[in-house]
Amino acid sequence: MQKELPSKANVVIIGSGVIGAGIACQLIKRGIDDVVVLEQGEIGAQGATSKCIGGLRTQFSTAINIRFSLISREVFRNFKEQFGIDLNFRPYGYLFLATREKEWSVLLDTSRLMTRLKTPLELFTPQEVAQQWPFLDVKDLVGGSYTKDDGFYDPHTVLWAYVKKARLGGAVFIEGAKIGGVLRSGKKITGVETTKGHQIKTEFVVNAAGPWAGQVAALAGLDLPIEPLRRHLFFTDTFEEIPDVFPMVFDLNSGWYMKREGKGLILGGPSGERSFSNDVNFDAEEWTAIESIRRVPALERSRIIRGWVGHYELTPDHHAVIGAFPELENFICAAGFSGHGFQHSPITGMLVAELITEGRAKTEDIYPLRPTRFREDNLIHEPITAFRE
Ligand SMILES: Cc1cc2nc3c(=O)[nH]c(=O)nc-3n(C[C@H](O)[C@H](O)[C@H](O)COP(=O)(O)OP(=O)(O)OC[C@H]3O[C@@H](n4cnc5c(N)ncnc54)[C@H](O)[C@@H]3O)c2cc1C
């Protein structure tokens, strides 16, 4: 049953996606039970989480992203103990393909970094890629990088496990409550206001509004460069000409990708437009068909049966924003994951809960993710992304 909007709460979280719900869960775990999660629509029905494909990979080019994946992977591995749910992990692996020297050099640097962090990847020549996965056309490849322990979860199972656990601990989730304003007093937020004029007084606000996080920050007078980046995905009918199990294949140059989904396939279509539009367009389907057949010639005989558009929450350097602006100490940003927020939701929940309960994040140094890095022009770039801008 939908609860009534309260007039005060210790912590207000804006957004009930996998990040907001994960934070609520961790706050409950740390004894903060006066938590309200406000959702403009319905839980799990819109936002990036609703279109996510549930991948967790360790192949990133920065130490902070790799460590975020390793810590989060441990939480997912022990999910049953904490949440009572088996996540049915599918360890398909991730394979990134480089067709240009520039991309290959990123993969070489990544390999060195991952070895230092004791989570090595395997580098393959084009011939080795073809030997392992003969359905891939490798004639334009410089090489590939492979992490066999990466794979897939079901994002909806994870989201609802967070929601259920947080609710059991006392957190209140309210749907149809869009935040349209914040109440400020000096360097503090004192409350939030819904678009219908209901005010909630609070000690902390967490901006977990995904692709809308830039808009929510603007309500508080803050400049947070997070934009929605459209991503087309297409789904094929049953396709049995390639194996049932193979890694997620990414083409670093084009941004195309392919993964097994049941008996069919998910094909990653074009990305690049910054807009909240959900429209699937024919040009995108055509691009996806051409790229798919170029990399996997057998796909000429496959059939695309549906498609959708999701929105990545894009920052200029493709890293998340976690922390507060110095001019508004109790307004904590946890957004801008740039396409990898599902897999980093466990560590983000821990870090934000630490910020709120202990005044600082302890599990990881989040200084590189501070929201002021954009205006300081001090970015940390992540080139290994699932999209092209
Ligand atoms: C096609 C696609 C595939 C992806 N695949 C992967 C993957 O394989 N692995 C991975 O790790 N990540 C993946 N991602 C990224 C991942 O989905 C996101 O990083 C993650 O879901 C972000 O979660 P979130 O809670 O921050 O945002 P969201 O899920 O967008 O949640 C934000 C919520 O805030 C609400 N909201 C916004 N404004 C307001 C307001 N003013 N008041 C109240 N509520 C508000 C929204 O309605 C929304 O429900 C993918 C994304 C897409 C689009």
Q: What is the pLDDT of residue 2?
A: 61
Residue 386 carries which side chain, given as an amino acid letter?
A
CA of residue 187 to ligand 1 center, whole Å: 28
Ligand 1 atom closest to the CA of 233, numbered from 1: 1
ipTM associated with this complex: 0.99
Ordered by where they begin, the domains of the chain are 8-53+155-225+317-373 (3.50.50.60), 91-151+228-314 (3.30.9.10)
Q: Which helix (H) or strand (E) segment is 204 a member of?
A: strand 199-207
Q: What is the pLDDT of residue 322?
A: 98
CA of residue 288 to ligand 1 center, whole Å: 23
Instruction: Check pocket membership of 38 for ligand 1, CB cut-off 6 A.
Output: yes
Instruction: Check pocket membership of 318 for ligand 1, CB cut-off 6 A.
Output: no
The residue whose C-alpha atom lies closest to atom 8 belonging to ligand 1 is: 55
Report how far residue 370's alpha carbon sits from residue 145's, in angstroms, rounded to the nearest whole number: 30
- Write the DSSP string, 135-185: TS--TT-SEEEEETT-EE--HHHHHHHHHHHHHHTT-EEEET--EEEEEEE
CA of residue 105 to ligand 1 center, whole Å: 31
C-beta of residue 188 within 8 angstroms of C-beta of residue 329: yes
Parts of the chain with a pLDDT under 70: 1-2
How many angstroms separate the Cα of 119 from the Cα of each of 55, 69, 146, 250?
17, 11, 12, 20
Instruction: Check pocket membership of 49 for ligand 1, CB cut-off 6 A.
Output: yes
Instruction: Check pocket membership of 342 for ligand 1, CB cut-off 6 A.
Output: yes
Ligand 1 atom closest to the CA of 178, numbered from 1: 42
How many other CB atoms are found less than 10 A from the CB of residue 203? 17
The residue whose C-alpha atom lies closest to atom 41 belonging to ligand 1 is: 179
CA of residue 339 to ligand 1 center, whole Å: 9
Pairing of strands 35-39, 8-14: parallel
Q: Which helix (H) or strand (E) segment is 291 a member of?
A: helix 282-295
Report how far residue 186's alpha carbon sits from residue 183's, in angstroms, rounded to the nearest whole number: 10
Closest CA to 141 of 118, 121, 122, 125: 125
Q: What is the pLDDT of residue 257?
A: 98
